[in-house]
Amino acid sequence: MTDGNFVKVGMADLNVAAEGAVLKTTGLGSCVGLTLFDPQRQVAGMAHIMLPSSDIAREGQLNIAKYADTAIPELLNRVVQLGADRKRLVAKLAGGAQMFAFAGGSDSLRIGPRNVESVKRELDKWAIPVMSEDTGGNYGRTIEFDSRSGVLTVRSVQYGVKEI
Amino acid sequence: MKLFNHNPDFKMDVLREVGNIGAGHAATALSRLLDKPVDMAVPTVSFVPFESIADRVGGPEEVVVAVFLRVDGDAPGNMFFLMSRLQAKLLLQGLAGFEPAGDGGYSELELSALCEIGNILAGSYLSSLADLTGLAMSPSVPSVAVDMAGAILSYGLLQFGTMGDDALLIDTTFLRGRQEAEGHFYFIPDPESFEKIFVSLGVPLE
């Protein structure tokens, strides 16, 4: 969905942009917003990843944008199709918060940190360096990625606007 | 969900009644706490796409006050008591005469009071469901957050995340007087819990 110069990325969704269009995803909690960027070609991709691994999937038709291990190869393909050079790609990530804290919380309640770990492990596999990140904490984030400058703008209720 | 292939309307009706009974007791508890009438709308039961889960409370970026409780026991699930910031302030004022802080923030005491309200409401919701179904259901320690609705509610969708891209939500709106919304009560049973709820109530699965 394109709204003016914005390209919206929904929950468990991914998309790509170029020519100065801005990728945006809202309300990241324990989900991780990942961006891939080729600075030279100014081509960018964004994924809103919800769960760490497709191993736990029980759905009939797998939504590959939902899981870290399936979303990253797909996003990589999509930015390369749009003209990015795989060797130049750099990553930024935000989100992976733990929205609610419980004493002795079970594994499913640690989903934010686990998403971040899983995304980094997958990026490592593809040898894509992480340039910067704003992850963890206990608050939600909305992010925008400028496909020209490669700046990731992170907005939160508590901490306002931050560029990474 | 396969479970809903057969006789879906009847099953949705059953869940609506489950929500009605649970939220009815919760509304009564809230009304006693505030010592004033609290009305409620008929619960809506629907499969909601993840993407639009926050639409009923103003969209994913809308800042809301939410008390979250995990439901443990025979039919586990997630429960949210959601309010706008204004509603939360009014609730606190009505409950204990808290004067709103000028900066729109919340003191530790206010957050703790909200947690306790959530606890009482969820407790009455769940104990009435437990009486109805004979299933053991108990709320975890409540946790409160003031944040973007999308970030908060996505937390309640994780159990559905592995199944597909939508979640079955039992949503009840509490009303102050006759029109103005007081808050929302969301009950999102885990996908595995529906079968247990239906069996306990004698609803034929096939």
Tell me the CATH number at A36: 3.30.1330.200
One-letter amino acid at A90 equals V
Nearest to A115 by CA among A123, A127, A105, A103: A123
Least confident span in A64-78, A94-108, B117-131 = A94-108
pLDDT at A40: 95
From the list A101, A141, A142, the residue facing B143 with the nearest CB is A101
Whose tokens are 């009455």? That residue is B124
Q: What is the mean pLDDT of residues A144-152?
A: 96
Q: What's the 3-state SS for A24-92?
A: EEEEECCCEEEEEEECCCCEEEEEEECECCHHHCCCCCCCCCCEHHHHHHHHHHHHHHCCCCHHHCEEE
Q: Which residues contact A71 (CB under 8 A, 6 or more apart)?
A: A14, A34, A47, A49, A64, A65
| Nearest residue in chain B measured CA to CA from A61 | B164
Q: What are the backbone angles phi and psi of residue B135, rounded to the nearest 5°?
A: -90, 145
- The interface pTM score, or ipTM, of the predicted complex is 0.88
**Mutation to test the B interface, candidates A9, A26, A135, A144, most B Cβ within 10 Å:** A26
What CATH number does the domain located at B2-197 have? 3.40.1550.10
Quickly list DSSP for B83-113.
EEHHHHHHHHHHHH-PPPPTTS---HHHHHH
Nearest to B187 by CA among B162, B159, B163: B159
CB B115 within 8 A of CB B67: yes
| Nearest residue in chain A measured CA to CA from B144 | A100
pLDDT at B58: 87
* Domain ranges (residues) in chain B: 2-197
Burial degree of B178 (CB within 10 A; 0-12, 13-18, 19+):
exposed
From the list B50, B59, B145, the residue facing A12 with the nearest CB is B50
CB A79 within 8 A of CB A36: yes
- CA distances for B87 relative to A83, B84, B100, B113, B131, angstroms: 50, 5, 11, 14, 30
pLDDT in tens, chain B (206 residues): 778 888 889 999 999 999 999 999 999 998 888 888 888 888 999 999 998 989 888 899 999 999 999 999 999 999 999 999 888 888 888 877 777 666 667 888 889 999 998 999 999 999 999 999 999 998 888 999 999 999 999 988 988 888 888 899 999 988 876 656 678 999 999 999 999 999 999 998 87
- Residue A72 lies in domain: 2-163
DSSP state at residue B50: G
* Pairing mode, strands B63-73 and B38-40: unpaired
pLDDT at A1: 44
Q: B165 vs chain A: nearest CA distance in angstroms?
A: 8
pLDDT at B63: 94
Q: What is the mean pLDDT of residues A101-118?
A: 76
- CA distances for A123 relative to A64, A91, B69, B148, angstroms: 16, 8, 34, 28
Active site residues of A: 31
pLDDT at A24: 97
**Model confidence at A3: pLDDT above 60:** no
Number of domains in chain A: 1
Contacts across the A-B interface (CB distance below 8 Å): 98
From the list B51, B61, B141, the residue facing A102 with the nearest CB is B141
**Model confidence at A103: pLDDT above 50:** no
Least confident span in A25-34, A139-148, B81-90 = B81-90
Helix segments in B45-164, DSSP class H:
85-96, 108-133, 149-153, 158-161
CB B79 within 8 A of CB B189: no
pLDDT at A104: 47
Is residue A1 within 8 angstroms of chain B, CB to CB? no
Q: What is the mean pLDDT of residues A88-113?
A: 81
